[in-house]
Amino acid sequence: MMNELLVGYARVSTEQQDLTAQRDGLRALGVGDDRIYVDHGLTGTNRDRPGLRLALAACRAGDTLVVTKLDRVARSLPDARDILDELTKRNVKLSLGRLNPRSDRPRRTVVVQRARDGGGVRIRPDPHPHP
Q: Answer whether 94's CB lies under 8 Å from 44's CB.
A: no
Q: What pTM value is reported for the model?
A: 0.71
Report the chain's mean pLDDT, rounded to a whole number: 77
Neighbours of 26 (CB within 10 A): 28
CA angle centred on 102, ends 96 and 103, rounded to 5°? 85
Mean predicted confidence (pLDDT) in 31-46? 83
pLDDT of residue 17: 86
Q: How confident is the model at residue 63 (pLDDT cuts 50, 70, 90)?
A: very high
Q: Answer whether 110's CB lies under 8 Å from 84's CB.
A: yes
Q: Which residues are catalytic?
A: 13
Of the chain, the percentage scoring pLDDT greater than 90 comes to 45
* 32/27 Cα distance (integer angstroms): 6
